[in-house]
Structure 1
Amino acid sequence: MPRQAAVCIASGGLDSVCYAATLARDYDIYMLTFSYGQRAKREIDSARHFAKVLKAREHKVIDISFMKSLYGRSNALTDSRQKLSKDFTQNLVVPVRNAIFITIAGAWAMSINAKIVAYGAHAGDVPHYADCRPEFARAIAQALNTGDIDSIKTGVRQEIEVVSPAAQGMTKSELLRAGHAVLGDRLFATWSCYSNGVRKAGRYTHCGACESCISRKKAFTDAQIDDRTLYAE
């Protein structure tokens, strides 16, 4: 019996890659990465790498870098003039970023008759990021299905479901353990740093000081997995 297809939104970071890796066991995965004007452009190279590692049926890198001009000074992930904080602050929220990503992913999913759209939001994201919450995922799935309901009713397309570790109640460390079970130490090629890296000893490393790097360190500690990521501090 042919496997269902899944469109996996994969930034190249730890969470999205781990989730894509777990889904690749049961689905034919189609990976989708966005260049949206983010400071951390190295994550895109990481996504390209893991598309090969996970044997994605197809990997698209979508250039929506024009979004940077719309975002202006609204967030620190696209505005390099702002300092990256060690703890969560509101300027780490990129306005409706996941809504944009999921809508584009939904169009691709319906075009290839994929069953699910997946993104790596986990339970630890839920308190801070509204577009990581399960109720948001359900709402946007309903909107997308409503937007093509006639094709769904005639059987030309199938309904899509938007899924995430958060909807399963998975923490970042639990997601990490699941991804590590599939990828092993290959997952250290993921890029989590909100900056584009710090040059140290002839190579770029994670800064080790931004909120995302600190969360990455904590996840490895909580998962009891030796962290072999290179950090500047």
Structure 2
Amino acid sequence: MANPKAVILVSGGLDSTTALAIARSEGYDCYTISFDYGQRHRAELHAAELTARAGGAIEHKVVKLDLQSIGGSALTDDSIAVPETEGEGIPVTYVPARNTIFLSIALGWAEVLGANDIFIGVNAVDYSGYPDCRPEYVAAYEAMANLATKSGVEGQKLHIRAPLMRWSKGEIIRQGQSLGVDYALTVSCYQANEAGEACGRCDSCRLRRAGFEEAGVPDPTRYRAG
């Protein structure tokens, strides 16, 4: 009997790489997708390709989008600085509608592949205030997906899987370690350089470093000098 298929959104970061490892450990044939959407650096796309290959993806797809054209985020508009201190409310690194756009394209590919499961590495514990990383959002998107697709209408229920939703960063890292994830391949920094070296100061870097400390695992992140 053939393994079930799953589409996994991968960014090259710690969380999505762990979500891929979980999907594979559950017996899925994994098809990974990442997005060249006009983000500040391309290092994460290289990391996504490396982690997809290391994670046993059958196929890795990169979809090009232009979210720079609408801006509104420090990750897509160079005139908005990436903050290096923790702020209140939804941070300027939030990309308007990003997960909705990404999931919609992943959903289309899942229909083409005949996959009923889409994995995304969103997290409501260390989620930095992003509204599209909450369990309510994932549940609402899954309901919409089953209303809006041929698969859903014909009874092939689609599932949006967010296995990391309620884990701390340390718990995520410990789970990944148990599944053999090589976190040295991942890039989490919002402003990594072209070599993939992290700034060590942005919110994502702070969460990542704290996660390795919580997990009691050596941090393999390559930081920029100075």
Instruction: Report the TM-score, using the length of structure 2 for normalisation.
Output: 0.90
Distance in 1 separating the partners of 2:153 and 2:39: 39
Q: After the TM superposition, which parts of structure 1 deviate over 3 Å for at least 4 consecutive aligned residues?
A: 151-155
Q: Is the 8 A contact 1:21 1:54 kept in 2?
A: yes
CA distance in 2, matches of 1:141, 1:204: 33
Match of 1:69 in 2: 69
SS in 2 for 1:178: helix
Aligned residue number for residue 146 of structure 1 = 147
Letter in 1 for 2:23: L
1:217–1:126 CA distance, 2 compared to 1 (3 A): closer
Alignment correspondent of 1:94: 95
CA contact (8 A) 1:123 1:172 kept: no
Question: Is 1:4–2:4 an aligned residue pair?
Answer: yes
- Do residues 173 (structure 1) and 170 (structure 2) align? yes
Residue 118 of structure 2 aligns to a residue whose secondary structure is: strand
Structure 1 residue 40, shift from structure 2 partner: 2.8
- The amino acid that maps onto 1:222 is E
1:79 aligns with 77
Please list, as runs of the form range in 1=range in 2, the aligned pairs for 1:191-206 lying within 5 A after superposition.
191-197=187-193, 204-206=196-198
Query: What is the CA–CA distance in structure 1 between the aligned matches of 2:76 and 2:177, rounded to whole Å?
Result: 29
Tell me the secondary structure at the aligned position of residue 32 of structure 1. Answer: strand
Question: What residue in structure 1 maps to residue 49 of structure 2?
Answer: 48
1: CA distance, partners of 2:218 / 2:154: 51
Match of 1:212 in 2: 204
Amino acid at match of 1:145: N
Instruction: Provide the aligned length of Structure 1 versus Structure 2.
Output: 221
- Unmatched segments (≥5 aa) in structure 2: none
Code of the residue aligned with 1:4 in structure 2: it is P
SS in 1 for 2:125: helix
- Share of identical aligned residues, percent? 34
SS of the equivalent of 1:123 reads: coil
Post-superposition Cα deviations, 1:103-158, rounded to whole Å, max 9, x if no partner, equal 11111112111121111111324561111111111111111110125x54445xx2
**Structure 2 counterpart SS, 1:90:** coil
The 8 Å contact of residues 98 and 131 in structure 1, kept in 2 or not, is answered as yes
**Any idea what SS the aligned residue of 2:187 has?**
coil
Indicate if the aligned counterparts of 2:118 and 2:159 stay in contact, CA closer than 8 A.
Answer: yes
In structure 2, what is the Cα distance between the partners aligned to 1:174 and 1:42?
Answer: 25
Letter in 1 for 2:94: V
**SS of residue matched to 2:31:** strand
TM normalised by structure 1 equals 0.88
Gaps of 5+ in 1: none
> Which has more helix, going by share of residues?
1
